[in-house]
């Protein structure tokens, strides 16, 4: 058996391989379920029901899908340029901090227009998220420091910042109005007018999800139809060729990191405006949700295509939602992570088939020994 | 080796090759680039496994599953691109992977190894400091480490792949002396080259490969460079190519480089206070052994590398150092040595690759938006004008052969109507037909008034195309000669550091 | 240790306690990275190892030493098993190492396999039947200052010291160590010299996983002596360990120093608060991360890369073109 690099790629391959790997993943999981004494079909059906078809399931799924849509887009935007920004987690926190700050500030000034709040929160979140991503970005662009570790470290710093703001300080964000709030630290609730609207009645679509779709479309256009994307493509494939063509790589690194961080930041704004209505600094809140890391999984499964990210985010959101809903003796916690992991493993493995072809040849054919000329 | 065949996707590298060597012999493998010499030797050293054929060593049939088997059998190779670990010392590199004798010890005995390396280097005249780290050594010294690796393992067969490509003529002489002392000991040396005079100077027998097949095995003594060349190329060839164009430089000085010092990648300077001028319609050849500053000169002119002193002027206007965009705006075209590495993005389509210089303005783009159809059309026209063999504009660049890549890059550069053309190693690795086309394009450009800087290791090519030739040695211009009257010997002398009178 | 011990002693002793799992995990990741493979799944491997180790103590009968030994062994095997998935994906299938490592963390981590196994086996809230206690070595545990720190630690701690020494000697002084360093720096050269790149990478990634498993066991068998679901058991130590390897310039001795430094920084806030010194704990907790960034910047600028340690081929799959 040997692996040969492919020269051409048949059209159907980029679709067949991800679908095929999903099928394999579900098969493997089915085996695991059966081995632990559960019915695979039943479990899958329950997941579909809890995630998508059941009463109110889709709305709940969209709640789970929205943040990972943003972090997935953030990861896709960066990874397309071989910039491995795994700091979307921290960038989202910073976005949340910024969005809640501006919401509270505007509320103090008696602003009542919801559109104003929404725009302000998104802008503030984008700015802070971009800033947080620019730290590893600057280090990468000017000191050639590996952005993987720097962005990862900053996730932790961001988390600690969040904890600090709510738990260990009398910061602006902290609610000190009631005795209860003073004893059990929590964030100030944002004004009612700044709560983001939702759309639809049978399926409730959060505004954040729609913003995310828009961002996905924008990202798609940027990367496939604009000069920006052309340059990113060249830089990702051959940095030397990019320099040769006069492309400004350093600027592009900063731009892409900022873009990635901004998108993740808006995800944080959505968390505040759509769902929590307050800055949740507790260790069981934002910080436990792992939106950033899940976003990377989403982006990887979507092969970094912004439109596919939307779809995958909903699918994974459904899986996560089903996990929360079904938690119990019949549906052990941990199944969600296991399933995500297996899907991703299979997708990674399938990736190989896209670039290489499997050939079965006999290496040393059984030919009779030929007398060497003396 | 008998009946060896090896196929890669898209190309047959070896097709039923047979070749044999005797103990105590220096056997040369001669052939043009792409004839299959390196592939064959990679098979012999266990890096590749042949699709067909047998190898016999001292009468016994052998099968190599990996490089380790070949090393154990006493076959060592000095590759063109060294297989060294840069942060390690010489001694560490020599002993790496050795699992016999001294190497069998689990715990390393550094000083004992260093001593043995010292002994070997004295004995064979390969002076090198065993404690030095590889990144501190010069290319010539690094090659000595590679040879020491083989000697340390008591190699019976030593394969050298284009060893003199990175050496000055003097260092090459020293190498030949070392080799002679080796075959006095009964070792076999297999010498891969495409340089006729070397092969004639050093080998006992020569096997000529062409297009992946064995053409002939002859004794070196009675052969002449001309007969060998004929075998290599397949027809009687006039190896002195002679002048390929009429010299007709104009008056205007298009490119002026003054007092330029250019840093290298290791913290020193690749070029020191270099000056040159090229007029319109003139071709200035740059000769010199690889590594004497040629690449950095090309990069300084095209803006890929910032020069620390001096100026580069095109048509009188000073170019900002280290700014490729300024060079592009001044219509400086640069065709690089490694086409697929620097000039092109391998995974991207031909259409995108050809748009490198043009994508910032119409018709390739409108505002910030790309006009993909226009880009594809431009690519198609380029493909037909320059006779690039490719299925279409969406084909990834990496699928093209060397000759077609070169034509593609040249075509792209010419599209920008350049005033200055810097071209490095334009015909390396190309087949004869492609070489002729490329020479025609370069000559044609000069005829149209382009100022051409031609960097090449092929002295015949330089003498055939250029009007004047300068030689770079250790970062300075060692001398300048008129191409029509100069000889290869003169150039060789300058390349080795001799000073012109 | 009494409450009258000086602040320094307490902090140092705590540093050793909390630093030990960091050390194990860092040494493991060090070996993997030296062979050129980045494994971001440390957190997941630690959690899984913790669960399996704890399970063994609950299920196996026997004397404490034997049970604990088996538990640690099982944790090591568990970690290696997880690492094997990553190894297969990135070495044989040449997948992206970052994504694969993250996938492993999700798969094996607090919401994944370790939680699954833990709840299936009912490990939560069980009292610890066996745990590592402090060994009073040679009776010197009562020496002032030095005593509690050096002589009154558990077997896991002393084993970690031995392991650090072994890894340092292995990398620096043995033939195999030279080979693996070559594999991480220049796999093509190592391959041409007859070294089996694939084998070395597999072995080192698996051993790295084993160490991570033991690191996890440090929590469930010693520090917390119990098992809880989710990430809180290990609390991000896996990520710190990854940072630690860089902070230590990929050298085993420095891993030890760094592990205790980071351990001290996490113990310091509590100790200071007990003394009623007002300090923002988050600031101290953040220090290790910030310091790692600083170190990384130093390592990456210019030529220092060559001499200060990042294996040149780290993160890049090795392909011997067209075998």
Are residues B40 and B132 located together in one domain of the fold?
A: yes
B108 CB near a chain C CB, below 8 Å?
Answer: yes
Q: B445 CA to chain A: closest CA distance, Å? A: 21
Interface list for A 37-96 with C (CB within 8 A): 84, 86
Query: Which one of A164, A334, A336 has the shortest CB-CB distance to C280?
Result: A164
pLDDT at position A371:
30
Number of folded domains in chain A? 1
Are residues B227 and B255 located together in one domain of the fold?
A: no
C114 CB near a chain A CB, below 8 Å?
Answer: yes
Query: What stretches in chain C show pLDDT beneath 50?
Result: 1, 303-305, 322-323
Neighbours of C198 (CB within 10 A): 16
Specify the CATH number for the domain of residue A204. Answer: 1.10.3470
Confidence of residue B365 (pLDDT cuts 50, 70, 90): confident
Chosen domain end from B199, B233, B267 = B233
B394 CB near a chain A CB, below 8 Å?
Answer: no
B324 CB near a chain A CB, below 8 Å?
Answer: yes
pLDDT at position B144:
86
In a domain, residue B118? The reply is yes
Q: C308 CA to chain B: closest CA distance, Å? A: 10
Evaluate the CA torsion angle B142, B145, B149, B155 in order and state its sign.
positive
Closest CA to C39 of C23, C24, C28, C49: C28
In this predicted structure, the answer to whether residue B69 has a pLDDT above a threshold of 50 is: yes
Contact B133, B87 (CB under 8 A): yes
Q: Do B48 and C322 touch (CB under 8 A)?
A: yes
Number of folded domains in chain B? 3
Instruction: Identify all chain A residues contacting C290, using CB atoms and an 8 Å cutoff.
Output: 153, 157
Half-sphere exposure of C182 (CA within 13 A, CB side): 30
Instruction: Identify all chain A residues contacting C116, using CB atoms and an 8 Å cutoff.
Output: 332-335, 337-338
Q: Do A244 and B59 touch (CB under 8 A)?
A: no
Measured CA distances, C236 to A301, B219, C38, C230 (Å): 25, 71, 17, 11
Phi, psi of A161 (to 5 degrees): -60, -45
Q: Do A152 and C242 touch (CB under 8 A)?
A: yes
Interface list for C 250-279 with A (CB within 8 A): none
For C319, which residue in chain B has the nearest alpha carbon? B47
B346 CB near a chain C CB, below 8 Å?
Answer: no
Half-sphere exposure of B165 (CA within 13 A, CB side): 17
B217 CB near a chain A CB, below 8 Å?
Answer: no
In a domain, residue A48? The reply is no
Confidence of residue A11 (pLDDT cuts 50, 70, 90): confident
Query: Which one of B9, B68, B108 has the shortest CB-CB distance to C194?
Result: B68
Q: Which of B5, B325, B345, B369 to mutate to test the interface with A (most CBs of A within 10 A)?
A: B345
Q: Give the domain range for residue B373.
A: 342-417
Query: Most distant CA pair in chain B: distance in Å?
Result: 71
In this predicted structure, the answer to whether residue B459 has a pLDDT above a threshold of 80 is: no
pLDDT at position C320:
64
Q: Do C112 and A341 touch (CB under 8 A)?
A: yes
* Residue B52 zone, left/alpha/beta (φ > 0; ψ -120 to 50; rest): beta
Instruction: Identify all chain A residues contacting C103, using CB atoms and an 8 Å cutoff.
Output: 297, 300, 340-341, 344-345, 348
B149 CB near a chain C CB, below 8 Å?
Answer: yes
In a domain, residue A359? The reply is no
Q: Which residue segments constitute the domains of chain C, with CATH numbers given?
A: 7-308 (1.10.3470)
Q: Which of A281 and C143 is assigned the larger pLDDT?
A: A281
Among A39-43, A204-208, B110-114, B219-223, top mean pLDDT goes to: A204-208
Taking only the tens place, the pLDDT of each residue in C260-306 is 988 888 777 777 777 766 677 788 888 878 888 888 788 777 544 45
pLDDT at position B134:
86
Neighbours of chain A (3+ CB pairs under 8 A): B, C
Half-sphere exposure of A336 (CA within 13 A, CB side): 23
Q: Which helix (H) or strand (E) holds B329?
A: helix B324-329
Contact C247, C291 (CB under 8 A): yes
* Residue A368 zone, left/alpha/beta (φ > 0; ψ -120 to 50; rest): beta
Taking only the tens place, the pLDDT of each residue in A24-37 is 888 888 888 888 77
Are residues B156 and B285 located together in one domain of the fold?
A: no
For C186, which residue in chain B has the nearest alpha carbon? B85
Per-position b or e across B394-423, b if 16+ CB within 10 A of its CB = ebbbebbbbbbbbbbbbbbbbbeebbbbbb
Specify the CATH number for the domain of residue B205. Answer: 3.40.50.300
B398 CB near a chain C CB, below 8 Å?
Answer: no
Q: What is the CA radius of gyration of chain A?
A: 24
In this predicted structure, the answer to whether residue B34 has a pLDDT above a threshold of 70 is: no
Are residues B307 and B347 located together in one domain of the fold?
A: no
Does residue B260 sit in helix, strand or coil?
strand
pLDDT at position A368:
37
Contact B157, B74 (CB under 8 A): yes
Closest CA to B181 of B21, B26, B77: B26
Query: Would strands B269-279 and B309-314 be described as parallel, antiparallel, or unpaired?
Result: unpaired
In a domain, residue A15? The reply is no
Measured CA distances, C274 to A167, B272, C240, C268, C277 (Å): 18, 66, 25, 10, 7
Confidence of residue A1 (pLDDT cuts 50, 70, 90): low
Query: Which one of A294, A334, A342 has the shortest CB-CB distance to C115?
Result: A334
pLDDT at position A151:
92
Among A47-61, B55-69, B330-344, top mean pLDDT goes to: A47-61
In a domain, residue B336? The reply is no
C275 CB near a chain B CB, below 8 Å?
Answer: no
Chosen domain end from B358, B387, B417 = B417
Q: Do C174 and B107 touch (CB under 8 A)?
A: yes
B359 CB near a chain C CB, below 8 Å?
Answer: no
pLDDT at position B104:
52
Closest CA to C123 of C54, C183, C191: C54
Could you give the CA distance from residue B308 to residue B313 in angstroms, rounded to a whole number? 15
Measured CA distances, A22 to A26, A315, A340, A346, A352 (Å): 6, 12, 11, 7, 15
Taking only the tens place, the pLDDT of each residue in B293-316 is 888 899 999 888 899 999 999 988
In a domain, residue A9? The reply is no
Q: Which helix (H) or strand (E) holds C241?
A: helix C237-247
Neighbours of chain B (3+ CB pairs under 8 A): A, C
Q: Which helix (H) or strand (E) holds B437?
A: helix B432-447
Q: Give the domain range for residue A247.
A: 65-308
Are residues B378 and B489 located together in one domain of the fold?
A: no
Could you give the CA distance from residue B247 to residue B283 in angstroms, rounded to a whole number? 8
Could you give the CA distance from residue B272 to residue B284 in angstroms, rounded to a whole number? 19
Confidence of residue B241 (pLDDT cuts 50, 70, 90): low
In this predicted structure, the answer to whether residue B267 has a pLDDT above a threshold of 70 is: no
Q: Do B348 and A243 touch (CB under 8 A)?
A: no
> Helix A114-143 crosses helix A147-167 at what angle (to 10 degrees)?
140
**DSSP letter, residue C3:** T
Q: Do B59 and A372 touch (CB under 8 A)?
A: yes
B320 CB near a chain A CB, below 8 Å?
Answer: no
Dihedral in degrees, nearest 10, Cα atoms B135, B137, B142, B145: -100
Could you give the CA distance from residue B121 to residue B75 in angstroms, rounded to a whole number? 20
Among A76-90, B165-179, C58-72, top mean pLDDT goes to: A76-90
Could you give the CA distance from residue B306 to residue B291 in angstroms, rounded to a whole number? 18
Are residues B52 and B143 located together in one domain of the fold?
A: yes
Are residues B182 and B53 located together in one domain of the fold?
A: yes
pLDDT at position B24:
77
Closest CA to C147 of C10, C256, C18: C10
**DSSP letter, residue B396:** B
Q: Do B67 and C193 touch (CB under 8 A)?
A: yes
Confidence of residue A215 (pLDDT cuts 50, 70, 90): very high
Q: C289 CA to chain A: closest CA distance, Å? A: 5
Confidence of residue B9 (pLDDT cuts 50, 70, 90): low
Closest CA to C174 of B111, B84, B87, B104: B104
For A86, which residue in chain C has the nearest alpha carbon? C98
pLDDT at position C138:
65
Question: Chain A: which residues have CB within 8 Å of chain B?
Answer: 4-8, 225-230, 233-234, 237-238, 240-246, 361, 363-365, 367, 369-370, 372-373
Closest CA to A117 of A103, A131, A130, A105: A103
Are residues B81 and B30 located together in one domain of the fold?
A: yes
Instruction: Identify all chain B residues contacting A245, using CB atoms and an 8 Å cutoff.
Output: 324, 328, 356-357
Report the mean per-residue pLDDT for chain B. Answer: 81
Does residue B6 sit in helix, strand or coil?
strand
In a domain, residue A115? The reply is yes
Place of tokens 């076959």: B75
Q: Do B324 and A246 touch (CB under 8 A)?
A: yes
In B304-391, DSSP assigns E strands to: 309-314, 317-318, 332-335, 365-366, 369-370
**DSSP letter, residue A275:** I
Are residues B493 and B348 located together in one domain of the fold?
A: no
Query: Would strands B269-279 and B75-78 be described as parallel, antiparallel, or unpaired?
Result: unpaired
Whats the size of chain A, residue-wise? Answer: 374
Contact A213, A306 (CB under 8 A): no
Asked if omega into C234 is within 30° of 0 (cis), the reply is no
Phi, psi of C154 (to 5 degrees): -85, 170
Q: Do A152 and C104 touch (CB under 8 A)?
A: no
At a CB cut-off of 8 Å and minimum separation 6, what does B191 contact? B26, B27, B28, B29, B160, B163, B179, B198, B199, B202, B203
Query: Which one of B10, B345, B360 has the shortest CB-CB distance to A241?
Result: B345
Confidence of residue A370 (pLDDT cuts 50, 70, 90): very low
Chosen domain end from B360, B391, B417 = B417
B370 CB near a chain A CB, below 8 Å?
Answer: yes
- Concatenating the DSSP letter of every residue in C130-154 gives S---B--GGGGGGSTTHIIIIIS-B
Taking only the tens place, the pLDDT of each residue in A298-314 is 998 888 999 999 999 99
Phi, psi of B420 (to 5 degrees): -125, 135
Confidence of residue A373 (pLDDT cuts 50, 70, 90): very low
For B7, which residue in chain C has the nearest alpha carbon? C322
Could you give the CA distance from residue C266 to residue C11 in angstroms, rounded to a whole number? 9
pLDDT at position C104:
93
B58 CB near a chain A CB, below 8 Å?
Answer: no
Average pLDDT value for residue range B191-196:
76
Interface list for A 266-295 with C (CB within 8 A): 283, 288, 290, 293-294
In B166-308, DSSP assigns E strands to: 188-193, 205-210, 213-219, 253-263, 269-279, 283-287
Could you give the CA distance from residue B361 to residue B370 in angstroms, rounded to a whole number? 9
Q: Do B103 and C195 touch (CB under 8 A)?
A: no
Helices and strands (H, E) in chain C, number of each type: 14, 0
Query: Which one of A143, A283, A345 has the shortest CB-CB distance to C89?
Result: A345
Q: Which of C91, C113, C245, C293 to mutate to test the interface with A (most CBs of A within 10 A)?
A: C293
In B429-475, DSSP assigns E strands to: 451-455, 468-473
Contact A272, A70 (CB under 8 A): no
Are residues B280 and B395 located together in one domain of the fold?
A: no
Q: Do B77 and C192 touch (CB under 8 A)?
A: yes
In a domain, residue B13? The reply is yes
A156 CB near a chain C CB, below 8 Å?
Answer: yes
In this predicted structure, the answer to whether residue B456 has a pLDDT above a threshold of 90 is: no
Are residues B144 and B49 located together in one domain of the fold?
A: yes
A133 CB near a chain C CB, below 8 Å?
Answer: no
- Concatenating the DSSP letter of every residue in B148-162 gives HHHHHTT-SEEEEES
Could you give the CA distance from residue B270 to residue B166 in angstroms, rounded to a whole number? 15
pLDDT at position B236:
46
Is residue B269 packed enough to be buried (19+ CB in 10 Å), middle (13-18) or exposed (0-12)?
middle
Query: Would strands B451-455 and B60-62 be described as parallel, antiparallel, or unpaired?
Result: unpaired
In a domain, residue A275? The reply is yes
Among A368-372, B478-482, C38-42, top mean pLDDT goes to: C38-42
C199 CB near a chain B CB, below 8 Å?
Answer: no
Residue percentage of chain B with pLDDT more than 90: 6
Are residues B250 and B362 located together in one domain of the fold?
A: no
């Amino acid at each position: 058996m040997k692996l040969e690099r492919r020269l051409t790629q048949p059209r159907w391959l980029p679709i067949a391989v991800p679908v095929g790997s999903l099928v394999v993943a579900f098969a493997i999981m089915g085996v695991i379920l059966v081995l632990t004494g559960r019915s695979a079909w039943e479990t899958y059906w329950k997941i579909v029901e809890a995630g998508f078809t059941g009463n109110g399931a889709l709305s709940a799924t969209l709640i789970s899908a929205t943040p990972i849509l943003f972090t997935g887009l953030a990861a896709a935007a960066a990874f397309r340029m071989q910039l491995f920004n795994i700091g979307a987690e921290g960038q989202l926190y910073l976005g949340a901090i910024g969005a809640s700050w501006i919401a509270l500030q505007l509320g103090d000034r008696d602003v009542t227009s919801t559109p104003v709040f929404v725009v302000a929160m998104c802008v503030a979140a984008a700015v802070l998220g971009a800033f947080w991503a620019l730290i590893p970005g600057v280090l990468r662009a000017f000191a050639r420091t590996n952005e993987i570790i720097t962005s990862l470290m900053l996730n932790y710093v961001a988390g600690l910042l969040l904890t600090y703001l709510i738990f260990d300080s009398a910061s602006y964000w902290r609610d000190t109005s009631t005795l209860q709030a003073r004893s059990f630290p929590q964030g100030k609730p944002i004004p009612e007018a700044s709560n983001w609207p939702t759309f639809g009645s049978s399926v409730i679509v959060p505004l954040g999800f729609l913003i995310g779709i828009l961002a996905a479309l924008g990202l798609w256009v940027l990367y496939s139809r604009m000069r920006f994307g052309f340059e990113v493509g060249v830089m990702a494939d051959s940095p030397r060729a990019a320099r040769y063509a006069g492309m400004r790589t350093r600027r592009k690194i900063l731009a892409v990191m900022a873009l990635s961080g901004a998108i993740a930041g808006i995800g944080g704004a959505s968390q505040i405006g759509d769902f929590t209505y307050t800055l949740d600094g507790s260790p069981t809140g934002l910080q436990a949700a792992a939106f950033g890391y899940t976003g990377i999984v989403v982006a990887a499964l979507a092969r970094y295509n912004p439109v596919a990210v939307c779809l995958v985010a909903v699918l994974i959101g459904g899986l996560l939602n089903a996990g929360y809903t079904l938690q119990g003796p019949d549906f052990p916690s941990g199944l969600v992570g296991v399933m995500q992991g297996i899907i991703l493993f299979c997708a990674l493995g399938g990736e190989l088939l896209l670039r290489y072809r499997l050939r079965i040849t006999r290496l040393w054919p059984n030919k009779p020994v030929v007398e060497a000329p003396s | 080796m008998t009946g060896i065949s090896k196929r890669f996707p898209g190309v047959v590298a070896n097709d039923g090759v047979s070749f044999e060597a005797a103990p105590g012999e220096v056997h040369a493998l001669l052939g043009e680039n792409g004839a299959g010499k390196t592939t064959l030797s990679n098979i012999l050293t266990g890096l590749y496994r042949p699709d067909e054929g047998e190898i016999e060593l001292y009468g016994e049939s052998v099968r190599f599953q990996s490089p380790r088997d070949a090393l154990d059998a006493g076959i060592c190779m000095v590759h063109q691109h060294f297989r060294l670990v840069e942060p390690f010392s010489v001694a560490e590199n020599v002993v790496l992977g050795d699992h016999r004798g001294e190497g069998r010890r689990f715990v390393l005995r550094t000083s004992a190894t260093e001593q043995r390396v010292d002994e070997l280097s004295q004995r064979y005249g390969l002076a090198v400091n065993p404690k030095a780290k590889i990144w501190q050594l010069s290319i010539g010294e690094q090659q000595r480490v590679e040879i020491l690796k083989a000697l340390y393992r008591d190699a019976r067969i030593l394969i050298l792949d284009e060893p003199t490509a990175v050496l000055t003529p003097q260092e090459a002489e020293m190498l030949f002396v070392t080799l002679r002392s080796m075959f006095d000991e009964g070792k076999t040396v297999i010498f891969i080259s495409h340089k006729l005079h070397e092969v004639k100077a050093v080998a006992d027998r020569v096997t000529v490969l062409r297009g992946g097949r064995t053409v002939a095995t002859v004794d070196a003594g009675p052969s002449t460079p001309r007969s060998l060349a004929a075998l290599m190329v397949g027809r009687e060839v006039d190896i002195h190519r002679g002048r390929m164009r009429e010299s007709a430089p104009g008056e205007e000085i298009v490119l002026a480089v003054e007092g330029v010092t250019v840093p290298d990648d290791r913290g020193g300077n690749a070029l020191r206070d270099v000056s040159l001028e090229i007029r319109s319609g003139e071709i200035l050849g740059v000769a010199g052994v690889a590594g004497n500053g040629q690449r950095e000169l090309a990069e300084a002119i095209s803006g890929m590398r910032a020069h620390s002193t001096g100026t580069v002027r095109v048509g009188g206007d000073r170019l900002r150092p280290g700014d490729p965009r300024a060079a592009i705006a001044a219509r400086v075209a640069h065709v690089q040595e490694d086409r697929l590495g620097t000039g092109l993005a391998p995974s991207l389509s031909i259409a995108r690759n050809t748009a490198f210089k043009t994508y910032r303005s119409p018709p390739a783009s409108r505002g910030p938006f790309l006009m993909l159809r226009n880009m594809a059309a431009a690519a198609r026209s380029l493909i037909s004008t320059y006779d690039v063999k490719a299925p279409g504009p969406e084909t990834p660049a990496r699928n093209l052969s060397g000759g077609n890549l070169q034509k593609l890059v040249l075509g792209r550069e010419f599209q920008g109507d350049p005033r200055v053309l810097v071209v490095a190693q334009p015909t390396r690795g190309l087949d004869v037909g492609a070489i002729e086309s490329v020479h025609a394009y370069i000559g044609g450009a000069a005829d149209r008034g382009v100022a051409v800087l031609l960097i090449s290791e092929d002295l015949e090519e330089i003498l055939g195309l250029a009007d004047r030739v300068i030689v770079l040695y250790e970062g300075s211009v060692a001398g300048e000669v008129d191409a029509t009257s100069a000889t290869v010997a003169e150039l060789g002398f300058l390349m080795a550091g001799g000073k012109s009178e | 240790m009494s409450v009258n011990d000086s602040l320094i002693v307490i902090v140092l002793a705590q540093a050793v306690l909390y630093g030990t799992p960091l050390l194990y995990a860092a040494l493991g990741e060090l070996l993997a990275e030296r062979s050129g493979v980045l494994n971001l799944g440390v957190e997941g491997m630690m959690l899984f190892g913790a669960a399996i180790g704890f399970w063994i103590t609950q299920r196996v009968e026997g004397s404490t030493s034997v049970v604990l030994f088996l538990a640690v062994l099982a944790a090591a095997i568990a970690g290696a098993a997880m690492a094997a998935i990553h190894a297969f994906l990135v070495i044989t299938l040449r997948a992206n190492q970052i994504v694969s490592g993250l996938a492993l963390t999700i798969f094996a981590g607090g919401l994944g396999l370790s939680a699954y196994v833990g709840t299936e086996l009912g490990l939560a809230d069980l009292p610890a039947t066996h745990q590592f206690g402090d060994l009073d070595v040679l009776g010197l545990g009562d020496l002032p200052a030095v005593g509690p720190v050096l002589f009154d630690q558990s077997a896991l701690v002393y084993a970690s010291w031995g392991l650090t020494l072994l890894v340092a000697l292995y990398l620096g002084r043995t033939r195999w160590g030279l080979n693996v360093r070559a594999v991480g720096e220049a796999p093509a050269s190592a391959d041409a010299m007859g070294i089996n790149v694939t084998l070395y990478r597999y072995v080192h990634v698996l051993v790295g996983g084993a160490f991570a498993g033991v690191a996890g066991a440090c929590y469930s068998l010693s520090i917390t002596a119990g098992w809880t679901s989710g990430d809180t058991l290990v609390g991000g130590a896996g990520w710190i360990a990854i940072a630690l390897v860089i902070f230590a310039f990929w050298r085993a001795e420095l891993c030890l120093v760094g592990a205790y430094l980071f351990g001290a920084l996490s113990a310091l806030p509590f100790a200071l608060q007990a003394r009623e010194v007002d300090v923002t704990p988050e600031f101290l907790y953040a220090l290790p991360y910030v310091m790692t960034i600083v170190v990384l910047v130093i390592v990456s600028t210019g030529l220092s890369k060559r001499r200060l340690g990042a294996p040149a081929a780290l993160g890049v799959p090795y392909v011997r073109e067209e075998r």
